[in-house]
Amino acid sequence: MSAPSRDVLVIGAGIVGVNIAAMLSENGHRVRILDPEGVAEMASRGNAAALAFSDIMPLASPKIMWKAPRWLFDPLGPLSIRPSYLPRLVPWLTRFALSSTPDRVEASAAAQAAMMELAASETFALADRADIAGMIRHDGSLELYESESEFEATLPGWDRRERAGIEFRHVRGSDLAELQPGLSERFVAGTFIPGWKTVSDPRDYALAVWRHAEKFGASLERGKVARLDISGQKPAAILADGRTLTAQRIVVAAGAWSTRLLAGTKATRIPLDTERGYNTTLPKGAFDLKRQLIFSGHGFVITPLENGVRVGGAVEFAGLDAAPNYERSRIMLDKARDFLPGLDPAGGTQWMGFRPSLPDSLPVLSRLPERDDIVLAFGNGHLGLTQAAAMGRVVADLIGDKTPAIDLAPFRADRF
């Protein structure tokens, strides 16, 4: 018996939304994707370009809880909170602390490992079907440490990755210099992760996935959703301009804005917030970067792109409405110049984007608790690009009434 073909409205045209649209349209569903800005114009436009399949450890951990008080109130630190936003963030921080116990960290890492295994296989398979495999770089990544104590503090996380079958090797001296010539001598060790990938440019990659979806009939509609209406026989999206769009199935993949659309549903209890990330993209030729460099002690990365070098990362909690603080971009660029003495900082373009973040570092991937015809797919934090194809595969399974490819219990909307 063939799977049903359905009218599906996907809210959100970021990298997760376009992967969902691609998988659904390949399976014969009639897909419209709805976004106020167009394809890949928000977080998917300027992210760090990583396919971080080895990144299974949650942000919440005993180590982070020890560092957090020092970081959080440094306005230019790797993890900061604007003081005016702190009262609104207290419930999120409370759940973050609860997610930092060893047993919960282990549970989150196990769920993330399953998600990453699916993400890797689905990403490469979709890239082959869409004829965009050439946009994926297979150079690995290099995480760098400035002291023996910093290196040793990372070892428990690497032991957990080793148990998950993730390949890596610790490097020093000439091996370190060979992996990335021109590093500052301040770095005493590094960890090379050969399975880490990056894409040539995250926006270009998202647009290429979208073109593949269009070949199977997916269409884009511009519009801002004010809320969902779940009172009728079919779910409906109520737009800010007064229009109402109905569909047999609706998928909410609107990133950091997702819970704003779900007023009046149980999903408003989901503790979604946004980690604001900053970067500066330098012109091509700024530095001969061999692979993505990760400076976890400072909360940022440096990535080689098709047309430049991107210096970015860090986390700022300030909500969706506050103006950007581009001083954070400048601080990261200054550090990058210290870490790579030959880096040319001229001609850079600054950017800020919103990462949809949940306290346990796992996305929401499930049906709306009170309606089976609405699927929730958001909250990937730093890993939207990495996990997008897995999100697409699972949503296609749910819409097609198939058994999902992974156990969805850790990703339930009502787990909080």
Burial of 3 (0-12, 13-18, 19+ CB in 10 A): middle
> Do residue 176 and residue 111 come from a single domain?
no
CATH number of the domain bearing residue 123: 3.50.50.60
| 66, pLDDT greater than 70 | no
> Do residue 206 and residue 279 come from a single domain?
no
**What are 77-100's pLDDT values in tens digits?**
777 888 889 899 999 989 998 998
Q: Return d(Cα 294, Cα 191) in angstroms, integer.
A: 9
Q: Return d(Cα 318, Cα 1) in angstroms, integer.
A: 50
Q: Are 379 and 358 in contact (CB under 8 A)?
A: yes
Beta bridge partners of 143: 191, 294
**What are 331-370's pLDDT values in tens digits?**
999 999 999 999 999 999 999 999 999 999 999 999 999 9
> Do residue 147 and residue 266 come from a single domain?
no
- pLDDT band for position 65 (50/70/90)? low
Residue that terminates a domain, selected from 357, 383, 400: 357
Q: How many domains does the chain have?
A: 2
How many CB atoms are located within 10 Å of the residue 104 CB?
Answer: 16
Give the chain's mean pLDDT: 93
What is the pLDDT at residue 314? 83
Residue that terminates a domain, selected from 317, 333, 357: 357
> Do residue 117 and residue 212 come from a single domain?
yes
| 119, pLDDT greater than 70 | yes
> Do residue 264 and residue 208 come from a single domain?
yes
> Do residue 279 and residue 348 come from a single domain?
yes
| 158, pLDDT greater than 70 | yes
> Do residue 91 and residue 167 come from a single domain?
yes
Mean pLDDT to the nearest integer, 292-306: 95
Q: Return d(Cα 358, Cα 127) in angstroms, integer.
A: 28
Mean pLDDT to the nearest integer, 242-246: 95
> Do residue 91 and residue 240 come from a single domain?
no
Q: Which two tokens stand for residue 303?
A: 């990535």
Mean pLDDT to the nearest integer, 202-214: 98
Mean pLDDT to the nearest integer, 303-321: 94
Q: Which residues, including other chains, have CB under 8 Å from residue 373's CB and lie 6 or more apart?
A: 234, 235, 248, 249, 250
Residue that terminates a domain, selected from 357, 376, 403: 357
| 244, pLDDT greater than 60 | yes
> Do residue 25 and residue 110 come from a single domain?
yes
| 266, pLDDT greater than 60 | yes
Mean pLDDT to the nearest integer, 296-307: 94
Q: Are 45 and 202 in contact (CB under 8 A)?
A: yes
Lowest mean pLDDT among 64-68, 180-184, 210-214, 225-229: 64-68
Q: Return d(Cα 95, Cα 89) in angstroms, integer.
A: 10
What is the pLDDT at residue 63? 65
Mean pLDDT to the nearest integer, 189-194: 97
> Do residue 291 and residue 214 come from a single domain?
no
Closest CA to 221 of 12, 6, 1, 7: 12
Q: Return d(Cα 89, Cα 97) in angstroms, integer.
A: 12
Q: By percentage, how much of the chain surpasses pLDDT 70?
A: 96
Domain limits for position 241: 1-60+101-135+199-272+358-416
What is the pLDDT at residue 83? 86
What is the pLDDT at residue 64? 66
**What are 381-400's pLDDT values in tens digits?**
999 999 999 999 999 999 99
> Do residue 188 and residue 50 come from a single domain?
no
Q: Return d(Cα 287, Cα 47) in angstroms, integer.
A: 19
What is the pLDDT at residue 1? 45
CA angle 142/99/374 to nearest 5° reads 95
> Do residue 34 and residue 71 come from a single domain?
no
Q: Give residue for tokens 């965009």.
A: 132
Q: Encode 113-125 in three state secondary structure.
A: HHHHHHHHHHHHH
Q: H helices within 253-342, ranges in order?
A: 327-339
Rg, the chain, Cα only: 21
**What DSSP character marks residue 272?**
-
Write down the pTM of the prediction: 0.95
Helix (H, G, I), strand (E, B), or coil: what is residue 69?
helix
How many CB atoms are located within 10 Å of the residue 363 CB?
Answer: 28
Q: Return d(Cα 50, Cα 136) in angstroms, integer.
A: 10
CATH number of the domain bearing residue 282: 3.30.9.10
Helix (H, G, I), strand (E, B), or coil: what is residue 403?
coil
